[in-house]
């Protein structure tokens, strides 16, 4: 009998082969709509972009965010707290089982497993009914969001505060900060955004809004720090357009902020805007003229617009700064071979 889920199933696993195998098993069960992520940060970004009916994540995902941390982040967010969450592990200790249970895991499965065992666990995860608390949280959250859209901020605040009596959430504190900002109550907004980032340290939007409020208050250094943190998170997630906006806001706060031009150059190069990247790297070199890495980035952008001679000259400057710069030397050698100089 084919399984049904009203929303996609998400597989989170850095092993592409395992993801492919597990996706095949899900399709054989009738779950055709599948999202795939290679690490926790990518998974969390996708959870915020798409409706997800079930998350199946391996415990080990790399250094930035483990499967357990991803579980905690999902459970800490009022919007997504009710998503069934399965953890897969190659081996598991009693302490890990207890820790996962305390974090709110739906079920766990030790790898390797048979298709039958996998199907049974997925069936159980999808058949679990939401508890009364989860339903209450979602209803209050939806009510608060609707009131906020209508500009009924006092009523929205009451609804969000009711959520906090049931479940503490980074998203709720973010919304409280948003409302306090609209009301001009900046100190209270800062406190709410700060609480949101304490619960979810990868909450880029909260860092960004907090930075914008600090800027309105004339607290430029604190504004820059928050905006830089937001931009770093966006960059790690490869959300380049959001990173670009954050970096531009930093330049509005402080036009001489170190490394922002270099970071914008990286964003533009990833977007294929090599001319814009070149312009940013040249500005970055005016701030940091002895940074071989910026020279290297500029050279790569020159290569993107087929300016091999310019790239070679910039790399020679980088090697003059640091003769042991292996990446620069290798790239220069490749360019010289391409120009017939090798």
78-120: pLDDT as tens digits? 678 788 999 999 887 888 888 888 888 999 998 888 999 999 9
pLDDT confidence of residue 130: 56
- Residue 118's closest CA among 251, 126, 159? 126
List the structure tokens of 15. 């092993």
Query: Does any domain span residue 46?
Result: yes
Query: Does any domain span residue 227?
Result: no
Count of domains for the chain: 2
How confident is the model over 250-309, as pLDDT tens digits?
Answer: 999 888 776 899 999 999 999 899 999 999 999 999 988 999 999 999 999 999 999 999
List the structure tokens of 309. 């001679």
Q: What is the CATH number of the domain that holds 286?
A: 1.25.40.10
Query: Does any domain span residue 309?
Result: yes
* Domain housing 61: 9-128
330: which residues sit within 8 A by CB, 6+ positions away?
none
Q: At which residue do the structure tokens 């770093």 appear?
A: 232
26: which residues sit within 8 A by CB, 6+ positions away?
9, 11, 34, 122
Counted residue by residue, the chain has a size of 342
Among 128, 158, 189, the domain boundary falls at 128
Is residue 83 within 8 A of residue 54, CB to CB? The reply is yes
CA distances from 186 to 120, 159, 274 (A): 51, 20, 39
- Residue 40's closest CA among 70, 79, 72? 70
List helix spans (H) across the chain: 16-28, 40-47, 67-75, 94-103, 115-127, 132-149, 153-166, 170-182, 186-199, 204-216, 220-236, 240-253, 260-270, 274-287, 292-304, 308-321, 326-338
Query: Does any domain span residue 190?
Result: no
Among 110, 128, 146, the domain boundary falls at 128
Pairing of strands 9-12, 54-58: parallel
Query: Does any domain span residue 64?
Result: yes
Query: Does any domain span residue 157?
Result: no
Q: What is the CATH number of the domain that holds 113?
A: 3.40.50.2300
* Percent of the chain whose predicted confidence (pLDDT) is above 70: 92
Q: pLDDT-derived band of residue 2, with 50, 70 and 90 as boundaries?
A: low
- Predicted TM-score (pTM) of the model is 0.63
What's the rounded mean pLDDT across residues 63-81?
82
Query: Does any domain span residue 34?
Result: yes
Query: Does any domain span residue 139?
Result: no
pLDDT confidence of residue 336: 86
pLDDT at 322 > cutoff 80? yes
- Residue 85's closest CA among 56, 62, 113, 109? 56
What's the rounded mean pLDDT across residues 32-50?
88
pLDDT at 319 > cutoff 90? yes
Among 128, 153, 172, the domain boundary falls at 128
């Amino acid at each position: 009998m084919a399984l049904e889920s009203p929303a996609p199933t998400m597989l989170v696993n850095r092993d592409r082969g395992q993801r492919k195998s597990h996706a095949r098993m899900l399709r054989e069960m009738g779950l055709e709509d599948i999202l795939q992520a290679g690490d926790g940060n990518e998974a969390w970004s996708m959870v915020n972009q798409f409706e997800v009916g079930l998350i199946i994540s391996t415990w080990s995902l790399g250094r930035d965010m483990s499967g357990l941390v991803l579980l905690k982040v999902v459970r800490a967010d009022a919007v997504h707290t009710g998503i069934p969450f399965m953890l897969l592990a190659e081996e598991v200790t009693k302490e890990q089982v207890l820790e996962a249970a305390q974090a709110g895991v739906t079920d766990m499965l030790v790898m390797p497993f048979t298709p039958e065992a996998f199907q049974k666990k997925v069936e159980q995860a999808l058949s679990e009914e939401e508890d009364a608390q989860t339903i209450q949280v979602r209803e209050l959250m939806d009510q608060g969001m609707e009131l906020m859209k209508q500009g009924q901020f006092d009523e929205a605040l009451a609804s969000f505060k009711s959520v906090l009596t049931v479940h503490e959430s980074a998203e709720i504190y973010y919304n409280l900060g948003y409302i306090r900002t609209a009301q001009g109550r900046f100190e209270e907004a800062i406190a709410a955004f700060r609480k949101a980032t304490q619960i979810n340290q990868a909450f880029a939007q909260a860092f960004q809004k907090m930075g914008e409020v600090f800027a309105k208050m004339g607290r430029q250094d604190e504004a820059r720090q928050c905006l830089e943190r937001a931009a770093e998170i966006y960059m790690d997630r490869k959300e380049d357009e959001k990173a670009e906006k954050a970096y531009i806001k930093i330049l509005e706060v402080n036009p001489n902020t170190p490394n922002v031009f270099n970071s914008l150059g990286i964003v533009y190069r990833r977007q294929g805007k090599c001319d814009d990247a070149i312009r940013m790297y040249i500005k970055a070199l005016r701030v940091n003229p002895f940074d071989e890495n910026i020279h290297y980035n500029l050279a790569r952008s020159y290569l993107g617009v087929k300016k091999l001679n310019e790239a070679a000259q910039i790399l020679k400057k980088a090697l003059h700064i640091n003769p042991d710069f292996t990446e620069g030397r290798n790239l220069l050698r490749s360019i010289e071979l391409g120009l017939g100089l090798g």
